[in-house]
Structure 1
């Protein structure tokens, strides 16, 4: 069974942990999301350095080896998830590998990956930031990065809406479908946003033509938005918005009133660099709410 089919049948939700308080808050959010989806939760602790430095630390603490220390980290996270949702099926794994590689591999059979944005302190914060970025850029499944003030919860809704950014290549967008399902599960409206701009070279000072180029661009944005929303699941309330401005600014503003912001990211076969568009990359740094990066074979928002 290939990964896409396995995910469609309800693969586990995977959350990456590192023992930090932010990563434990990510466990809370991921446990809520797994319960909402009706799937199992897999807690993964991946750390290459534990193999070398952990043994010395374990000896200092009177422990015989590094592995029990790592198991304690992932075990505590798993117990936290079970305590939050007693009926939730939770598994845990320790992987001695670079976290970004381990989590991307875990994502092959996952319905989604959840990661935080901060590590324990100092350099660790930058390292975890780079891990989140790398995972969002390369995973085969949607990646939810817990930006902003998410109140440690996926449910109940805080703001009562899911926002999706609609790009130019909008028809049959994986990001739109993902966002619609998230809104349906939460019982909240889906706000679909299409940002548009009128290039400066198309503006005119002629009084009879003033505003004409802008109107055409706005009409095109409305058409693209409608095309993106043609195949939504039943029972989803949709609010449509076309907004003049750069997509990065428009969607960052929208994130202040959203429980989840969803954007697409193009995946190019054989490409080894960061596969995130400028919009997705900016929102991972500036969104005021969790961001779901949904891979697809098209243009990002």
Structure 2
């Protein structure tokens, strides 16, 4: 089956928060996080269970396989226990998970995906479904690995971290998350001094580094001009590869927000190195916010 390319259009903030549910323990922990987040946003929570007919011989595409109802019912009971007033929707989709979730993202404010990685090598190997959905969904995607705390609120570490790049979509999303949670926003801009500029005399090398740091600080200051009033912002520039800088910052964050370019017409999943590394190595949940080739 061919993945359908997704354009980048801003999701309606009143749309449900959608989470993929498969009945596994990591999936149910992600349901807890999604329930907290949906309640925080004041939107319904839609539980989506993808059940490909190929996995159930003799089942028709229009008939949900027998286990699906139980999977959704267990997740829904868990949500209602945790967030009694939250509106819960249940949906069974007869398709492979990544295709079902990418389509569900078309009418989602946020899409949440849990993965099974937990500890050691398994923690580094992110699931293919999570990677595909993060690369192709048209709305922000939050990925939680097995070791991530399943609680969205109240804050555990008390901050949202965002990597500030060339596109403002990730920064807007992060600012909104910080405002909702009532925590500071830590805006990070990584910078590097090109290698050829550091092979000169020590004084010249120091001057070159200072210029790059100064430019990074100016770009960060300009980007933060659009952050809404009332959001406490901690801005900092850090020398080093952006992917390493953000992974380090994730250890003191409740949520790490990164941007991801959507390539119109691309049929295969594609994520940049920064986003790919964040998804595999972040110490907290990661929100991947899409933007297009030419701005937002």
TM-score (norm 1): 0.87
Q: Give the unaligned 5+ runs of structure 1.
A: 56-64
Residues 97-116 of structure 1 aligned to structure 2 (within 5 Å): 97-116=95-114
Partner SS, residue 273 of structure 1: coil
Partner SS, residue 191 of structure 1: strand
Are the equivalent residues in 2 in contact too, given 1:46–1:102 (CA < 8 A)?
yes
Q: Deviations over 1:108-167 (max 9, x none)?
A: 0100000011189xxxx9998100000000000000001364332100100000000012
**Partners of 1:126 and 1:98 in 2: CA distance:** 23
Q: Deviations over 1:84-108 (max 9, x none)?
A: 1010000111112010000000000
Q: Which residue of 2 aligns with 1:48?
A: 52
Change (3 A) 1:126 1:67: farther
Change (3 A) 1:119 1:46: farther
Q: Which residue of 2 aligns with 1:59?
A: none
Total equivalences in the alignment: 282
Q: Which residue of 2 aligns with 1:183?
A: 178
Are the equivalent residues in 2 in contact too, given 1:164–1:263 (CA < 8 A)?
yes
**Partners of 2:194 and 2:202 in 1: CA distance:** 18
Please say if 1:28 is aligned against 2:43: no
Q: Which residue of 2 aligns with 1:152?
A: 150
Q: Which residue of 2 aligns with 1:62?
A: none
TM-score (norm 2): 0.89
Residues 250-265 of structure 1 aligned to structure 2 (within 5 Å): 250-265=245-260
Partner SS, residue 163 of structure 1: strand
**Partners of 1:244 and 1:228 in 2: CA distance:** 18
What is the CA distance between 1:198 and its match in structure 2?
A: 0.6
Choose 154-163 or 269-278, whichever is displaced more: 269-278
Q: Deviations over 1:213-263 (max 9, x none)?
A: 111111111111112211112210000010000011110000000000000
Q: Which residue of 2 aligns with 1:83?
A: 81
| Residue 138 of structure 1, aligned match among 136, 139, 156 | 136
Are the equivalent residues in 1 in contact too, given 2:126–2:280 (CA < 8 A)?
no
**Partners of 1:128 and 1:285 in 2: CA distance:** 6
| Residue 12 of structure 1, aligned match among 16, 20, 31 | 16
Which ranges of 4 or more aligned residues in structure 1 deviate by more than 6 Å?
Answer: 125-128
